Structure 1
Amino acid sequence: MAVHASVCLKSLPRLARITSACLFVTLVAGCSLTNTADPTAGWTAQQLYTQAKSDMSGGSWTDARKNLQALEARYPFGVYAQQALIDEAYVDWKDDEPEQARSAIDRFMQQYPNHSGTDYMLYLKGMITFTPPSAILSNITRQDPSERDPKGLRESYEAFNELIKRYPDSRYTPDARKRAAWLVNTIAENEVHVAEYYYKRGAYVAAANRAQKVVTDFQGAPIVQKALYIMVISYNKLHLDKLRDDAKRVLDKNFPNSKYYKQGLDDPESAWNPLNWL
């Protein structure tokens, strides 16, 4: 027993050191948890929204998004939650996150179909694909927007067109009309680019059909002149003289002395600059 007691007594200092070390680690961990705690914990919806607006004003999109999402999660009902979702879509758009912005817009329109801010959300939905991040470099790469994948252009047009039809008196409608008109011309030009691509590769039937679609679907667009010319030269290659002559008659009637008879299919370089729309 004496020996056992002696061993226990000798072990006390070591045990005390271990206990102290454990206590120290616990205190450090506690401090660490305190330092990483959410500083907005306990904030009201108004406080979160005010901070998010301040972040947006300073261009701090990550912080703004975090506070808006916190507001939406903690206070899912009420005007602040609705406005937070609107602003979240805007923040995602400005932060070059088009998919997240589109998702926020879709959620908003599903949850609040009759909200007074729906016109703005439709306008923003059109803007998301009207000026994607890659378009900003078009003035450097000299790529014509009509040469891009038309999917985004069509989505943009559909959103603007829905805004125009549903909210003709909206403050956003006049600008949407201008953008929609530009998009119609650009989508038509994309179709003509495809028709020209087919023609230059000897796919004359495909070229004529694509050009015919432009003439039928985009009446009044300036690029219709080139579409008619592609029809004329495609039918000529196919030895379809009647169709060629019919297309030439329409071309000559609507565009006397068409420039394409002299210059062929090669147009001058486009002066389009997407920065003008930002």
Structure 2
Amino acid sequence: MKISRLHATADRFIKNHPDHDSIDYAYYMRALSTYNGAESLLSRFLDLDPSERDSKELSKAFSELADFTARFPNSSYAPDAKARMYYLREMVSRHELTVAHYYLKRKAPLSALRRSQEVVQNYPSTRSVEGALAVNVQAYNDLGKTELAETNLAVLKQSFPASSYVDEEGNFIPLELPSDADPSFLYWISFGLFD
């Protein structure tokens, strides 16, 4: 993990001047440098979805923005920080859902279940919750745990009455996953940029 010069400078300022009038700006710039670092150079120019890449930097940026907003809730930078936190929560939850789908493709329903439950428990206000509940139902069905699958299906129907994962009769529509879980040759030679 490479730390930017801006991040290091902000860290030094925070350490050496904890009572400065502009300390909120230093915390904000530290978090912003991590946020900007989470976007790779390739993702900026190739319009790649950040949720499909490693989410460690996104999580770190979220933590630093959360630390900033907790320390300085009335700062003039707080509204921007909160908007960025909202975006990061969406990206991290989508990443977890992407990984859950990958595990379902690899016939690893227990691992998929763990990732989808992470979304439901830790990111309940995100748009990924509907998909995570569908992964729960699919994973429990794959594991032969029909009672737990039915419980999750009931939660899905109650929380998302117009869910695309439920048909007109109220039955679960199994997730359509490709039968081959191995990436294509193009995926490998392009380092995952193209599938």
TM-score band, normalised by shorter chain: 0.7 to 0.9
Asked if 1 retains the 8 angstrom alpha-carbon contact of 2:156 and 2:163, the reply is yes
When normalised by structure 2's length, the TM-score is 0.79
Return the match for 1:198 from 93, 98, 103.
103
Return the match for 1:181 from 86, 92, 109.
86
Q: Secondary structure at the match of 1:116?
A: coil
Report the alpha carbon displacement of residue 239 of structure 1 after superposing the two structures with TM. Answer: 0.8
The CA deviation string for residues 132-173 of structure 1, in whole angstroms up to 9 with x for no partner, is 385454254342111121111111111211121111111111
The structure showing larger relative contact order (alpha-carbon pairs under 8 Å, at least 6 residues apart) is 2
Report the alpha carbon displacement of residue 264 of structure 1 after superposing the two structures with TM. Answer: 3.8
One-letter amino acid of the structure 2 residue matched with residue 104 of structure 1? T
The CA deviation string for residues 93-151 of structure 1, in whole angstroms up to 9 with x for no partner, is xxxx8532222121111111122222111111121122238545425434211112111
One-letter amino acid of the structure 2 residue matched with residue 171 of structure 1? S
Q: Please name the residue that 1:227 is paired with.
A: 132
Q: Please name the residue that 1:254 is paired with.
A: 159
Q: Please name the residue that 1:112 is paired with.
A: 17
Could you tell me which runs of 5 or more consecutive residues in structure 1 were left unpaired when the two chains were aligned: 1-96, 267-278
Going from structure 1 to structure 2, the CA distance change for 1:195 and 1:253 (only over 3 Å counts) comes to: same
- How do residues 78-89 of structure 1 correspond to structure 2 at under 5 angstroms? none
Q: Please name the residue that 1:103 is paired with.
A: 8
Separation in structure 1 between the aligned mates of residue 7 and residue 45 of structure 2, nearest angstrom: 27
Return the match for 2:59 from 131, 154, 161.
154
Report the alpha carbon displacement of residue 247 of structure 1 after superposing the two structures with TM. Answer: 0.7
Separation in structure 2 between the aligned mates of residue 122 and residue 249 of structure 1, nearest angstrom: 44
The 4+ residue runs of structure 1 with deviation greater than 3 A are 133-137, 260-266
Return the match for 1:242 from 140, 147, 155.
147
Separation in structure 1 between the aligned mates of residue 3 and residue 110 of structure 2, nearest angstrom: 38
Which has the larger Rg?
1
When normalised by structure 1's length, the TM-score is 0.57
Q: Secondary structure at the match of 2:85?
A: helix
The CA deviation string for residues 189-209 of structure 1, in whole angstroms up to 9 with x for no partner, is 111111111111001011012
1:126 is aligned to 2:31: yes
Asked if 1 retains the 8 angstrom alpha-carbon contact of 2:34 and 2:61, the reply is yes
Return the match for 2:116 from 198, 211, 221.
211
Percent identity over the alignment? 32
Q: How many residue pairs were aligned?
A: 170
| Higher share in helix | 1
Q: Compute the RMSD of aligned alpha carbons.
A: 2.1
Could you tell me which runs of 5 or more consecutive residues in structure 2 were left unpaired when the two chains were aligned: 167-172, 178-195
Going from structure 1 to structure 2, the CA distance change for 1:265 and 1:254 (only over 3 Å counts) comes to: farther
The CA deviation string for residues 58-78 of structure 1, in whole angstroms up to 9 with x for no partner, is xxxxxxxxxxxxxxxxxxxxx
Report the alpha carbon displacement of residue 251 of structure 1 after superposing the two structures with TM. Answer: 0.6
Separation in structure 2 between the aligned mates of residue 178 and residue 190 of structure 1, nearest angstrom: 19
Separation in structure 2 between the aligned mates of residue 255 and residue 134 of structure 1, nearest angstrom: 32
Going from structure 1 to structure 2, the CA distance change for 1:263 and 1:202 (only over 3 Å counts) comes to: closer
